A and B are shown apart, each in its own frame.
Chain A
Amino acid sequence: MTVKQHIIIKGVKDGLLFLLDDQCDFEAILNELKHKIEKTHQQLLTGPLIHITVKLGNRTISEEQSKQLSDIIRSQGNLIIHAIESDVPTIPRAHAELKVITAIVRAGQEIEYDGDLLLLGDVHPGGIIRCTGDIYVLGALKGVAHAGIKGREKAIISASLLRPTQMKIADYLSQPTDEYEVSDGLMEYAYIDNEQVCIQKLTLLHRENRLPIIMRGV
């Protein structure tokens, strides 16, 4: 084969290292990866569980692409993805754009935003709030909320009063049932766990370990 190889597979101490070329089309990588895993490298990839570290080089990929990548690797039962690493420094999510909106979203009104959204006000039944990131409502959420509209499954929806008529995170829809009524007045948030929308007290959000707290002057 005269075609340039885009993927180099290396053995390291704790598993395998997939080095991906960062100059070519991402499609080409996916195709080659598929080809390698399904056809050419069968003997290497069968057997006990192997941890895989994927190195992207100077390339950043979207969540969608990352999912495609891991789907292909996971299709082989004994491969476990340990990490997908990129040399490009990532901006911490805390610095991502957080849009603050002061409004009452009434029936028939809709707010849509690309990023995280903080609403100071209520969402009434019949009102809709949608964004690509997280939704935080300082007020009562009684309408429809959709976080992660472009597929971000780690997005959350939180509200002082979480009583939505309908909630969606990425592609997971949740229509409230009686189990929502356990809050005893505490703030709550919704997240996806095991392909289901779950509700948890907001005070437990830190367990998701989204951002480490930096202690200064201790």
Chain B
Amino acid sequence: MGEAIVVTSGKGGVGKTTTSANIGTALALLGKKVVLVDTDIGLRNLDVIMGLENRVIYDLIDVAEKRCRLEQALIKDKRFDELYMLPAAQTKDKDDITTDSMLSIITELKQTHDFVIIDCPAGIEQGFRNAIAGAERAIIVTTQETAAVRDADRVIGLLEQHKIPSKLVVNRVRPAMMKRGEVLEINDICQVLAIDLLGIVPEDEKVISGSNAGEPVSLNPTFKSGLAYRNIARRMLGDMVPLMTLNEKTGTLTKLRKFFGMS
């Protein structure tokens, strides 16, 4: 019996789908059987980021309305045998599925997978209620923007009402701006939201190019962001992994000075 985890944020554009794709991929790398569920009906993106767009035949609504069996709608990943995804419908609406049918689909998926990662749409309306229906844990994605933190706070409150515990991922971390005090510190965000930190992901252009190419960055641990997602997946499995340090690139001279103990 697996575990269903919803990835949500309230605010749009903070990286829910990217986080879902990368955490799912990283868990698959660690040998887990994972299914990614896109619940952003009408605006599906997860298949694009996973590079599986042309394999979509059936979708979530087809399963809910019994036009196909659940296994028929699942798409197997190109790279892993035990990574699947269930795409959202593109032509329908968030109201075209009920929380009850969502719950039964998620429950069924949990029987055959270790992790069911649910990618939640932005907002706190019907789409959100559908996405959290079958979840027993939540990953809150936020950035260092006050607006994103405010929305995350709202969502954590709603999840608490549904007795769903949540952990935090701070995405698109900008170390230089943090140093200059232009954005919220990680510690401040954790303190404000009063939930546990699952990990931080540095801002990385590779995330965008990876998403465009359909290759999640977590496939490549030489990317800082890729390593960050892998660390998050390990922490989800109970490993103690220290937070990565986010120093800016240092020049040769600085390194040399450090070597001689001069700074």
Is the beta-carbon distance between B194 and A107 smaller than 8 angstroms?
no
Q: How far is the CA of A126 from the CA of B124 in the complex (A)?
A: 15
B-side contacts of A124, CB under 8 Å: 153, 192
Does A212 sit at the interface, judged by CB under 8 A? Answer: no
Task: Count residues of B near A (Cβ-Cβ below 8 Å).
Answer: 10
Known interface pairs A104-B194, A122-B194, A124-B192; A109-B157 also in contact (CB < 8 Å): yes
Contact with A along B145-167 (1 / 0, CB 8 A): 00000110110111010000000
A-side contacts of B151, CB under 8 Å: 107
List A81-128 residues whose CB lies under 8 Å from chain B.
Answer: 104, 106-109, 122, 124-126
* Min distance, Cβ B164 to any Cβ of chain A, angstroms: 14
Q: How far is the CA of A107 from the CA of B156 in the complex (A)?
A: 9
B-side contacts of A106, CB under 8 Å: 153-154, 156-157, 160
B-side contacts of A108, CB under 8 Å: 154, 157-158
Please tell me which one of the listed residues A104, A107, A109, A122 contacts residue B150 in the complex, with CB atoms under 8 A apart. Answer: A107
Q: How far is the CA of A97 from the CA of B158 in the complex (A)?
A: 29
Q: How far is the CA of A124 from the CA of B192 in the complex (A)?
A: 8
Q: Which B residue sits closest to A121, measured CB to CB?
A: B194
B interface SS class: helix
Q: How far is the CA of A109 from the CA of B161 in the complex (A)?
A: 10
* Min distance, Cβ B209 to any Cβ of chain A, angstroms: 34
A-side contacts of B156, CB under 8 Å: 106
Q: Select the residue from A104, A106, A109, A124 with max chain B CB neighbours within 10 A.
A: A106
A-side contacts of B160, CB under 8 Å: 106
B-side contacts of A122, CB under 8 Å: 194
Is the beta-carbon distance between A126 and B150 smaller than 8 angstroms?
yes
Is the beta-carbon distance between B154 and A126 smaller than 8 angstroms?
yes
Is the beta-carbon distance between A125 and B194 smaller than 8 angstroms?
no
A-side contacts of B158, CB under 8 Å: 108
B-side contacts of A104, CB under 8 Å: 157, 194
Q: Select the residue from B153, B154, B156, B192 with max chain A CB neighbours within 10 A.
A: B153
A-side contacts of B194, CB under 8 Å: 104, 122
Q: How far is the CA of A124 from the CA of B151 in the complex (A)?
A: 11
* Min distance, Cβ A138 to any Cβ of chain B, angstroms: 14
Q: How far is the CA of A124 from the CA of B157 in the complex (A)?
A: 10
* Min distance, Cβ B167 to any Cβ of chain A, angstroms: 16
* Min distance, Cβ A194 to any Cβ of chain B, angstroms: 35
Q: How far is the CA of A108 from the CA of B157 in the complex (A)?
A: 8
Q: Which B residue sits closest to A126, measured CB to CB?
A: B150
A-side contacts of B154, CB under 8 Å: 106-108, 126
Q: How far is the CA of A109 from the CA of B151 in the complex (A)?
A: 12
Contact with A along B243-260 (1 / 0, CB 8 A): 000000000000000000
Contact with A along B102-122 (1 / 0, CB 8 A): 000000000000000000000
* Min distance, Cβ A15 to any Cβ of chain B, angstroms: 56
B-side contacts of A109, CB under 8 Å: 157
* Min distance, Cβ A164 to any Cβ of chain B, angstroms: 15
Q: How far is the CA of A109 from the CA of B124 in the complex (A)?
A: 14
Instruction: Give 10 closest A-B pairs by Cβ, nearest first.
Output: A106-B157, A107-B154, A107-B153, A108-B154, A106-B153, A109-B157, A124-B153, A107-B150, A104-B194, A126-B150
Q: A106-B153, A108-B158 are in contact. List 14 more A-B contacts (CB 8 A).
A: A104-B157, A104-B194, A106-B154, A106-B157, A107-B150, A107-B151, A107-B153, A107-B154, A108-B157, A109-B157, A124-B153, A125-B150, A126-B150, A126-B154
21 A-B pairs in the complex with CB atoms less than 8 angstroms apart: A104-B157, A104-B194, A106-B153, A106-B154, A106-B156, A106-B157, A106-B160, A107-B150, A107-B151, A107-B154, A107-B157, A108-B154, A108-B157, A108-B158, A109-B157, A124-B153, A124-B192, A125-B150, A125-B153, A126-B153, A126-B154
